[in-house]
Structure 1
Amino acid sequence: MPNVIATLDAAVEALLKQIPGPIVLGLPLGIGKPNPLVNALYRRIKADPSRKLTIVTALSLEVPSGKSELEQHFLQPLVDRVFKDYPDFDYVKDSRGPGLPPNIEVREFFFKTGDYLHNASAQQHYISTNYTFAARDLVLQGINVVAQAVGQRQGPAGWELSLSSNPDLTAEIVERCAATGQPLLKVAVINEAMPFMEGGACVSPDFFDWVVTDPAATHTLFAPPNAKVSTTDYAIGLHASSWVRDGGTLQIGIGSLGDAIAHALILRDRQPESYRSMLTSLCPDGLAGRELGRFEQGLYGCSEMFVNGFLKLMQAGIVRRRVFADLATQKAVNAGQLDPDTLPGGVCMTGGFFLGPTDFYAALRALEPAQRAQIDMTRIDFINQLDSPCGTEMELKRAQRVHARLMNTTMKVSLLGAAASDGLESGAVVSGVGGQYNFVAMGHALPDARSILMLRATKETADGPVSNIVHHYGHCTIPRHLRDVVITEYGVADLRGQSDAEVVKRLIAIADSRFQDELIAQAQASGKLETDWTLPERYRHNTPQNVDRLLHPWTEAGLLPGFPFGTDLTADELKIVGALRRLKKATQHPVDLVKLALRSFWEGREAPPAYLERLGLDEAKGFKALFIRKLFAGNL
């Protein structure tokens, strides 16, 4: 049995005594970190320059604070309500502020998107690695402690622990250290808020050396509210959902695009006529080859990230195709020789880690035993790759993951089909490679699978919109030889097996029309496109306004809501957010800002007193504050 430690302070004292030299602390990504223990250790070593600490992790989450005074005023009540007692990391605060002390270093292999673009220390200590290599590379950093927040319960055989949100890397790290004889102290910290997950996440207490039971280690989980799903997101989600085959396998990610895909799949199953009409309006080439039927067999979810959208698909009865751990059984089910509904066991969802809104965690905690048993939270080296020391396991994965549709988001796609998803041309890291490369490669390795990369066709900048489909780009996450399916709000480009010229043509057909002529000229100048080629007229109407117009009837009918799976924001907060977004966009365009200001003063509009109080504008004095107050009112 492990050593049970009653307090965080005692755990820190014991750790410092157990490891008298430098401590290299490995932490799970996302919500699997034991924040209170990490902070207690960080403070002790920060105060003692004779000790050294290196933290190796990914996705260090921080409560939103807002960049402007308006945002800060708005966010504080929301943060108090949603994030409650979630403790931010001291090392994150110091990294963003005065900097880390010289005896402490933080190395991450995945950033919260865009958070560290201008942080030189974080950029310099970033580790670029695939998710499936992360455990290997953490061990190479010399980690001698791994600490994780866990859930607990009293099971039939006694006390049980769950790696909960993060069974992704821990077991592999432990195995790799044991195989090389590298000493590793394994510390579990119980957080009663962690949902108890089963499958590969369920471990006996003696998996760990120490278990910290201090009630002070229990706190609210980091719960990012659902992002609003835009018309652009819905157009992409509708296209992507029509590539999902009944009886197949699905991977999607977090955020508004993941929610758009999940909602579109539910529409396809429950309102097939409306779904077909939406797609018909979006597809100038017709619906040939698209999947439009209901889900009679259901889907199997197999994704490194178990997101809220997957839970909604399970609740809707769409993610329900069970797979089995026995190869002979799985083959017999695939061949129709066995009815899976008559078989015991099996799971319909396999995930490596999870992160989501407040109601997502609440739903996981409230699962009935039979529902919980359908979800296998397990290791990332099982999920993200087919390779395995055991050939039978590889064959089993192939039998389980039939007709896989592996969907990922990217930032830029070149006209030859390469994709940049994690960094800029300068080398600055936006997020990280994560498992994207693994799933793209798997999309080619599985015989009936497809890799699907999704991106919004344009990005708004201070200088106006720019195209995300570009002639070339100085950074690459996915090389052109792995090009497969690319989707924007304007359609689908099936690139598999196509010549370079055909790839160029298909990508230009789904680019924003404001940039198509420039892309054509660049491709022709580089010799990748015939000089006499012209873009067919049916692709010349790729504008945001046209997408809005095409989907407007279903938006008005309530079939494409801004928050299909709910939101933590109140109705008043949504109105304030909308006004602040419009105001922020106007500030990037001086002419628009002047027009908005003149209209606001001319119309003499005022915001509701409660809104002004929420933003700290109720007692505005001075020209700047009064000006902002008027602009805000004009944007409501």
Structure 2
Amino acid sequence: MSVLELVDTHVTHVTHVATNAASQAKPAAPEFADAEKLVDHIIEVVGKEIVLGAPLAIGKPIAFINALYQRAKADPSITLRIETGITLEKPVGKSQLEKNFLEPFVEREFEGVPDIDYIMDLRKGAVPSNITVSEFFFKAGSFLNSPQQQNYTSTNYTHAVRDLLDKGVNVVGQLVAKRTIDGVTTYSLCSNSDLALDFAPVLKEMQDSGKPVAMIAEVNSNMPFMQNHAEVADNVFDFVLDQNLKPDNKDYALFAAPHASISPEDHMIGFYASTLVKDGGTLQVGIGSLSSALIYSTLLRHQNNAVYNQIVDELHVAEKFPVTRLVGDRGIFEEGLYGCSELMVDGFMNLYKAGILKREVFEDLTVQTLLNKKKITTDVSVSTLLTLLEHGAIHQQLTAKDVGYLKRIGVFRGSVEFFNGQLQAQHQTMKANLGDAEALQWITKFCLGDKLSGGAVMHGAFFIGPKDFYEALNNLSDEDHKKFCMTSVNYVNDLYDHFIGSQQLKQAQRKHARFINSAMMVTLNGSAISDALENGQVVSGVGGQYNFVAQSHQLPDSRSIMKLRSCSVRNGKLKSNIMFNYGHTTIPRQLRDIVITEYGIADLRGKPDHVVYTELIKIADSRFQQQLLDQAKAAGKVAKDYTIPVEFGNNTPEAIQGIYQKFTQQNIFGPFPFGCSFTAEELQLGKALKALKAKTATPKGKIKCILNAITTPKPDKTIQPLLKRIGLENPTSIQDKLTQRLLIAELRGR
């Protein structure tokens, strides 16, 4: 629900914030057209020791952050600490070849996207000593072997507000959208309602106690204006930077993540995961190609169910992985799904457009419970009214409070009025007694609405995605917008009572939940490694993964699903991602549940260790299965006479390619099912460069590639344009000439 609607204050936090602020007559936040002047004002308010809390990903107020950073950089008397997560950067190549490939792409795809000054200086080692940047979640792999490892803060996403307050945050910044309707101005938290909704009341309390803190907003008209919990009153912030107050201002473009390619292995992982998604259930997914693959197969299941079931049968899913029969599904989505995911990815929009993301949940526990029990539907009828009466939600002799409640949930039309114990509708009056047959008939004719109102098909805490995702959000109708609710990460990520909704309500909404996350590695005891390496270096962060895994164990019909590729190249050598043990754990073994690789599904929850070990070995790559089995037997975790069943002994890339190629010939799967940001030339070059990098990762591989390059023919007319695109059409140095020959050989498939 929006703050523009007149509702009871207990319904949403947004309403609570707005009405609480209004009751204390707090005026609308002052607006600044110039970032430098806002920085001046912030220093006046909080002083020269500034701890800035900024949202992760695209929610950062870049103009304000850059102005504040440059001020502190120029004035050593200012101490600035920036506390944030996922600082986004445009791709930059390490080698000259990578730079030649990326620069035209970046200029095209990231046109108008500003750089964040502190990250540019971090890369150059040029951040002055009076400034510190600390993150609780790295963009994956972005700070390996970096001094920034020392400034990483490990925290669950749901604890971020608490930990930032403990660190002394006194300024909170947020990128917002703005709109004015009938003279009423509101702001939207847009992509990052995640922490701001929890920060707002706490900072207000701190201000009331005399502490110098400030909450600032920066307006950007390119931000999709999200309603519901994300829409807040104009006095929630203390100061607003709106550069559109200056003539001819053009807001900067949002950082958009290009569509990722989906490999055959990723498609298989996504396909297996889709067999566990229950119609009428709840879905959480992460970011990246594994999640895109899951979305694709979920769409395939609904839109081309015959082919989907053909693949299920050819992979012998039901026979090899009986958990799919117990908790999964393979039919179309008749009831549909509800999305409850800390990250709202573009895939949810694809599911919505396909009619899959359509199970609405409601902020009223009685309504939600009755829907779950199928006592009512979202279609309103006299039966809806009588069922609410039967379950004590309203009185037989309706009161003013009952009528307000019925209007709010859509059972009564908004035009119905209550006065002196009577109902008024369409210029007629009737007693408000549901026990009177005549009154009930009149109410049915003149008062009932058509649909329950206030339903949401999606609750998310933050979003980031490709350009077409932002465009889709911007182009949603008002009716569609109301179904997407960006809200607090504490509401989405755990089940504890929260001022937005109780634990009972969350449990009622999240039936048949499938909390699907990704891992880098899994050990044979079921522990998952998702955020860091055993030497302590952090790859990304815990984020919300632990919360979702723990939550899944609290809900009676929920499952936690961990996806990973069976193997990867590390230090130039192919290694299994299912390992006997590892020196770091993100998710402990006691929270093990379901694990998926491209070779299938391991059902681990509640199983004894010998089953856990063998189930994971069954979905490992066959090149590593025997080694893993020998280690398990040596440790006494698996019986000495156990052998791997023959049906699990062909876990090879060739087997994956066989099934993949069969169905790509039918236009099923494919590397870019949701669109591609690269040109045909860039795709060809990118594939060749990636392959060449892998082949030359070892001394033996490098020698082989050089020998191939020496004997490769000169480039023909098909290769010349590719060389020109990469800046190697006329190499002069010996290094460039060798690089050209290596690339030509790879492009020729040698």
TM-score bracket, shorter-length normalisation: over 0.9
Decide which of 252, 273, 279 is 2:285's aligned counterpart: 252
Report the alpha carbon displacement of residue 110 of structure 1 after superposing the two structures with TM. Answer: 0.2
Counterpart of 2:123 in structure 1 is: 96
Take 1:302 and 1:12, find their aligned partners in 2: how far apart are those partners?
37
Kindly provide the amino acid, as one letter, of the partner of residue 267 in structure 1: L
> Out of 304, 318, 337, which is 1:271 matched to?
304
The answer for the alignment partner of 2:579 in structure 1 is 470
Corresponding residue for 1:5?
32
SS for the counterpart of 2:31 is strand
SS in 2 for 1:578: helix
- 1:524 maps to which of 630, 633, 642: 633
Match of 1:194 in 2: 223
C-alpha RMSD over aligned residues: 1.6
Q: Which moved more, 1:281-290 or 1:192-201?
A: 281-290
Q: Which residue of 2 aligns with 1:62?
A: 89
Q: 2:517 pairs with 399, 402, 408, which one?
A: 408
The aligned counterpart of 1:634 is 745
Deviations 1:528-568 (A, max 9, x none): 11122111111111111211112211122221021111021
1:218 maps to 251
3-state SS, counterpart of residue 105 of structure 2: helix
The reply to whether residue 503 of structure 1 matches residue 605 of structure 2 is: no
Please say if residues 36 and 217 of structure 1, whose CA atoms lie closer than 8 Å, have aligned partners that are also in contact. Answer: no
Letter in 2 for 1:318: I
Deviation at 1:623, TM superposition (A): 2.4
Taking the aligned partners of 1:446 and 1:391, their CA distance within structure 2 comes to 19
Query: 1:187–1:209: 8 Å Cα contact kept in structure 2?
Result: yes
Is 1:115 aligned to residue 142 of structure 2?
yes
Q: CA deviation at 1:326?
A: 0.7
Residues 216-248 of structure 1, C-alpha deviations (whole Å, 9 max, x = no match): 682111111111000000100000000000000
Q: Contact 2:688–2:743 (CA<8 Å) still a contact in 1?
A: yes
Larger mean Cα displacement after TM superposition, 130-139 or 592-601: 592-601
Matched, 1:560 2:669: yes
Q: Which has the larger radius of gyration?
A: 2
Name which of 109, 112, 119 aligns with 1:82: 109
TM-score, with structure 2 as normaliser: 0.83
What secondary structure sits across from 1:25 in the alignment? strand
Deviates more, 1:355-364 or 1:153-162: 153-162
In the TM superposition, residue 367 of structure 1 has moved relative to its aligned partner by 1.1
In 2, the alpha carbon distance for the partners of 1:389 and 1:401 equals: 15
Give the distance between the partners of 1:403 and 1:488, measured in 2 at CA. 22
The answer to whether residue 48 in structure 2 is matched with residue 21 in structure 1 is yes
Corresponding residue of 1:308? 346
Distance in 1 separating the partners of 2:645 and 2:614: 10
Q: Residue 683 of structure 2 is aligned with which of 568, 574, 581?
A: 574
Q: Gapped runs of 5+ residues in structure 2?
A: 1-27, 380-450
Q: Is it true that 1:162 corresponds to 2:188 in the alignment?
A: yes
Quote the Cα distance in structure 1 between the aligned partners of 2:218 and 2:453. 34
Distance in 2 (alpha carbons) for counterparts of 1:392 and 1:119: 41
Match of 1:440 in 2: 549
Do the aligned partners of 1:149 and 1:189 also contact (CA within 8 Å) in 2? yes
SS at match of 1:577: helix
Deviation for aligned residue 1:183: 3.7
Output the CA distance in 1 between the equivalents of 2:589 and 2:332.
Answer: 34
In structure 2, which of residues 302, 311, 315 is the aligned counterpart of residue 282 of structure 1? 315
Q: For structure 1, which segment, 66-75 or 396-405, has the greater mean C-alpha deviation from structure 2 after superposition? A: 66-75
Whether 1:35 and 2:144 are equivalent positions in the alignment is: no
Alpha-carbon contact 2:321-2:602 (below 8 Å) kept: no
* Deviation of 1:634 (Å): 2.2
Corresponding residue of 1:127: 153
- 1:34–1:149: 8 Å Cα contact kept in structure 2? yes
Distance 1:156 1:457 in 2: 57
Q: Which position in structure 1 is the counterpart of 2:593?
A: 484
Matched pairs, number: 635
Equivalent position of 2:566 in the other structure? 457
Q: After superposition, what is the alpha-carbon deviation per residue over 1:577-602, rounded to whole angstroms, capped at 9, x for unaligned? A: 11111111121144444444444443
Distance 2:498 2:711 in 1: 72
Q: SS of the residue aligned with 2:172?
A: strand
Which whole-Å deviations, capped at 9, do the CAs of 1:75-108 have from their partners, x for residues lacking one? 1111111111211111111112124211001111
Q: 1:209 aligns with which of 238, 243, 247?
A: 238
Q: What letter corresponds to residue 457 of structure 2 in structure 1?
A: C
The question of 1:140 aligning with 2:169 is answered: no
TM-score w.r.t. the length of structure 1 is 0.97
2: distance between equivalents of 1:348 and 1:17?
A: 44
1:150 counterpart letter in structure 2: V
CA deviation map 1:339-376 (0-9, x unaligned)? 22432220101110000111111111111111111100
Which deviates more, 521-530 or 56-65? 521-530
3-state SS of 2:235 partner: helix
Q: Which amino acid aligns with 1:19?
A: V
CA change 1:389–1:369 in 2 (3 A) is closer
Counterpart residue identity of residue 239, structure 2: W
Q: Secondary structure at the match of 2:659?
A: helix
Q: How do 1:236-385 and structure 2 match up within 5 A? A: 236-283=269-316, 285-286=319-320, 288=322, 289=325, 290-341=328-379, 342-385=451-494
Q: Is the partner of 1:16 in helix, strand or coil?
A: helix
User: In the aligned structure 1, how far is the partner of 2:178 from the partner of 2:35?
Assistant: 17
**Alpha carbons of structure 1 residues 300 and 595: separation in structure 2 relative to 1, 3 Å:** same
Instruction: Tell me if the contact between 2:270 and 2:294 (Cα under 8 Å) persists in the aligned partners.
Output: yes
| Preserved CA contact (<8 Å) 1:34 1:217 | no
Q: What residue number does 2:734 align with?
A: 623
Rounded Cα–Cα distance in structure 2 between residues aligned with 1:271 and 1:302: 25
Using the TM superposition, give the Cα deviation of residue 390 of structure 1 relative to its aligned residue in structure 2, in angstroms: 6.8
| Structure 1 residue 633, shift from structure 2 partner | 2.1
Q: Secondary structure at the match of 2:502?
A: helix
Give the secondary structure class of the aligned counterpart of 2:348.
helix
- Give the distance between the partners of 2:632 and 2:602, measured in 1 at CA: 17
Distance in 1 (alpha carbons) for counterparts of 2:157 and 2:182? 34
Query: Greater shift after overlay, 102-111 or 383-392?
Result: 383-392
1:512 aligns to 2:541 (yes or no): no
Secondary structure in structure 2 of the residue aligned to 1:207: coil
For residue 3 of structure 2, what is the aligned residue in structure 1? none
Deviation at 1:184, TM superposition (A): 2.2
Residues 104-134 of structure 1 show CA distances to partners (whole Å, capped at 9, x for unaligned) of 01111000001101112x1111110001101
Distance in structure 1 (CA, Å) of the matches to 2:476 and 2:59: 20
Query: How far apart are the structure 2 equivalents of 1:51 and 1:391?
Result: 38
Residue 646 (structure 2) aligns with: 537
Equivalent pair of 1:523/1:529 in contact (CA under 8 Å) = yes
Q: 1:394 to 1:279 in 2, by over 3 A?
A: same
C-alpha distance in structure 2 between counterparts of 1:233 and 1:389, whole Å: 36
1:466-492 CA-partner distances (Å, limit 9, x unpaired): 011111111111010000000011110
Task: Tell me: CA distance 1:389–1:599, structure 2 relative to 1, closer, same or farther (3 Å).
Answer: closer
Do the aligned partners of 1:193 and 1:221 also contact (CA within 8 Å) in 2? Answer: yes
Give the Cα–Cα distance (whole angstroms) in 2 for the partners of residues 547 and 172 of structure 1.
Answer: 46
CA distance in 2, matches of 1:113, 1:514: 28
Deviation at 1:333, TM superposition (A): 1.2
Percent identity over the alignment? Answer: 43
Partner of 2:100: 73
Tell me the alpha carbon deviations over residues 40-74 of structure 1, each in whole angstroms, 9 at most, x when there is no partner. 11011111111100000100111111111111111
Partner of residue 383, structure 2: none
Q: Give the conservation status (yes or no) of the 8 Å contact 1:8–1:37.
A: yes
Distance 1:110 1:375, change over 3 A: same
